[in-house]
Amino acid sequence: MLAQLDPSFEPSKPLFLTAAFYKFVSLPDYEHKRDSILSFCESQQIKGIILLAKEGINSTICGEEKNVRAVLDFLKSDPPFSDLQHKESWTQIKPFRRMKVRLKKEIVTFGVPGIDPNVTTGTYIKPEDWNALINDPEVVVIDTRNDYEVELGTFAGAINPNIKKFTDLADWVKNSSALQQNNSKKTKVAMFCTGGIRCEKSTAYLKNLGYDEVFHLQGGILKYLETIPKKESLWQGECFVFDERVSVDHSLRPGQYYLCRVCRQPITKEDEKSAKFELGVSCDNCFDQTNAEQKIKARERQKQCLLAHLKNTSHIGDQPG
């Protein structure tokens, strides 16, 4: 089936299942869960990252299908995660090279005290009902992701707040003319993000500000792409993901982008034509942000990465920690 969808598919290469999931749930003992989760993931040769905090869990993991499903079953055997839901995609590219379980203050950093999706959040809208909602002229549709994510793709008609990081969204909300109430009529707001987790907090924030009709896409863009046929889709472009795939297309296959190893911004083969581009050293986004000495160090790092690749080993600089 994948061979019919993707001309680059090579039957001789292994196929990996990627599962993305999160859940806001009270975890007072989250520190004590780390070791057992990490140990089980490693026993299943799973790679990826799991974030744990008092407010819940946030993760993307990848591996052979039976191993990924074993990890999901292991997590669901713990009562707080019994109804854990996930999004799936398939790839021949290994999105991760390590397995990490990290303890955090928040599973997604918003930076506004008192925002708790376990207490209040917006109304979930299933992917099947999302098109009708955002086609409503009375609804303000907001892409809550960072500017470099939005640049790769977004929903038709969505507002781009042009934020550098998610913690900037709260200030944008307070100052946005698009969210001003007109003629004493409450503004209807629909928000979306990659997997849904950022909207849990952004919609909770709007609810706390007094907005009554606040909605968000359940499961995020990834669930929408997984659920809605392309011919019925209002999605335009590719979706940025925070792993080695960089982006996925509407069929959830790895897209055309890869990461500049210096600034971590997505770039394409077309960007390589720039005079400022040098593989592993600079791109248009970061050329003017590093000096000559830093570029020399980057060239040496790129050389070591290439040598490691030729020896079929990994290099510490291949992927961020």
Residues annotated as catalytic are 193
d(CA 219, CA 128): 11
- CA-nearest of 188, 163, 165, 55 to 114 is 55
CA dihedral 193, 194, 197, 199 (to 10 degrees): 10
**∠ Cα 260 239 49 (to 5°):** 70
Q: Are 265 and 285 in contact (CB under 8 A)?
A: yes
Q: Number of helices and strands (H, E) in the chain?
A: 9, 15
The alpha-helical segments, DSSP class H, found in 97-247 are 127-134, 147-152, 169-175, 197-208, 220-227
Q: Which two tokens stand for residue 216?
A: 């968000």
Distances (CA, A) of 226 to 87, 194, 235, 249: 8, 12, 12, 10
d(CA 261, CA 168): 24
- CA-nearest of 224, 170, 151 to 194 is 224
d(CA 174, CA 126): 27
